[in-house]
Amino acid sequence: MGKRIAIIGAGPAGIEMALAAMEAGHEAVIYERGSVADNIHLWGFVRMFSPWRMNVSSHGARLLEEMGVDLPPEDECPTGREFIESYLEPLTRHDLLHGRIEEGVEVAAIARKHALKHELLGDPERARRPFVLLLQRGPAEEEYAVADVVIDCSGVFGNHRWLGEGGIQAPGEKRIQRFVDYRLRDIRGRDRELFAGKTTAVVGHGYSAATALQDLVELRQSAPDTRIVWLLREDSPSPYPRFANDPLRSRDELAGFANRAAGGGVTGIEVHRGAQVVMVEQGDENNPMVLFVDTPDGEKRIKADRVLGLAGYEPDNSLYRELQVHECYASLGPMKLAAALLAEESAGGGDCLKQGPRTGAELTNPEPGFFILGAKSYGTRSTFLLTVLHQQVEDVLKLIDSLP
């Protein structure tokens, strides 16, 4: 007998899961607080490291073929926008999803019907009680929805870390937020005028920070007054790992650029390694912000027009605080999966391509019928790949079939 499945988020994870569930005979609905692929639209100008063959599921490719939709060459790396236009949007037009995506609906909280978080611990009766979801359709319109299964595919991109110590806000950060971007901007395109001829402080040492630095360096060629300051917590001159014969060529090239920049080898980038923002003040109209930064060489005062706060993202676990979810205290991902990933990272050197097969059991929680999929299942880790998602969808379908 088919289950009533509530899916949170209409990104790649939500769309792939809903299609697979509907084709398997379940009744699925996707609740999306914005519009389809909202988060990917925000970085749609960025080209992905992974080629089409890694981003498309065999199930999705088959459905598009039935619809007469051709996919681009499998070895090309799409931009986020191309991924939406050539894959995700066509999939949402499939008959299986007709009327199944409710945009502009936020899931505010999830609970069990007639059961508090601490009740029915390990009792099979808990699995027989449906989930209750609090839906917000607007400022004044709220209602309950019920489901047998809930799958959280809401991602992490909407929940940034702050500039300050340990990921919390730096003193004064809230007051200057209009000058801070916590996601990549289209520096060479529509956002060019925000950065050309200005001073930008880039905070972070992940691939997003490296991408922003590369874009700013290119912008500086046509706008030489552009000033770039890089603040990274790592004190290493080569903070980006590189892997022998890396099949993701763009990843390797970006890591090489970032390591040269961290070592002071890229003209136009002022680098402060081992740096931590400890306070932010509003400056004057010439330099709207002053960042007070602890470094190994003492405190620095960095004046800037804009800040790119690219210190990473983390899951919002407030959605399921009333459910029995066992999560990792470090990564905030599901505990079983987090433990498996930690073991793999220790053995494989942190290469996202060195992930082994899963049994599906890693996705289970003490809360029966509740699953976290996609990037959110990796918590604060940045090693998630869409190929992982495709396996997760298959695994969750099997787990749903085993529910009472």
Whether residues 188 and 264 share a domain: the answer is yes
Site of tokens 């022998």: 244
Distance CA 201, CA 196 (A): 13
User: Greatest CA separation found in the chain?
Assistant: 67
For residue 78, how many other CB atoms are within 10 A of its CB?
21
Which among 151, 167, 171, 111 is positioned nearest to 330, based on CA atoms?
167
Whether residues 170 and 300 share a domain: the answer is yes
* Domain boundary residue, one of 291, 309, 327: 309
CB 257 within 8 Å of CB 274: no
Q: Phi and psi of 250, rounded to 5°? A: -65, -35
Q: Phi and psi of 176, rounded to 5°? A: -115, 20
Which among 9, 10, 91, 87 is positioned nearest to 50, based on CA atoms?
87
DSSP class of 224: T
CB 50 within 8 Å of CB 34: no
pTM over 0.85: yes
Whether residues 250 and 330 share a domain: the answer is no
Whether residues 9 and 135 share a domain: the answer is yes
What pLDDT score was predicted for residue 348?
Answer: 65
Domain residues for the domain of 174 are: 165-309
CA distances from 123 to 129, 187, 356 (A): 11, 54, 33
Q: How much helix, strand and coil, in percent to the nearest 5, is found in the chain?
A: 35, 20, 45
Whether residues 181 and 148 share a domain: the answer is no
What pLDDT score was predicted for residue 240?
Answer: 95
In 3-state terms, what secondary structure has residue 55? helix
What pLDDT score was predicted for residue 171?
Answer: 97
What pLDDT score was predicted for residue 352?
Answer: 87
Whether residues 182 and 232 share a domain: the answer is yes
Q: Phi and psi of 145, rounded to 5°? A: -130, 150
Whether residues 90 and 198 share a domain: the answer is no
Strands 131-136 and 4-8: unpaired
- In sequence order, the 6+-apart residues with CB closer than 8 A to the CB of 358 are 340, 391, 392, 395
What pLDDT score was predicted for residue 324?
Answer: 98
What domain count does the chain have?
2
CA distances from 5 to 27, 54, 125, 148, 291 (A): 6, 27, 19, 6, 47
* Domain boundary residue, one of 309, 325, 342: 309
Whether residues 199 and 264 share a domain: the answer is yes
Mean pLDDT of successive 10-residue stretches along the chain, which has 404 residues = 95 98 97 97 96 97 96 97 98 97 97 97 95 93 97 95 94 93 96 97 96 98 97 94 93 97 97 97 85 96 96 94 96 94 78 84 95 96 94 96 90
CATH number for position 182: 3.50.50.60
Gyration radius of the chain over CA positions: 22
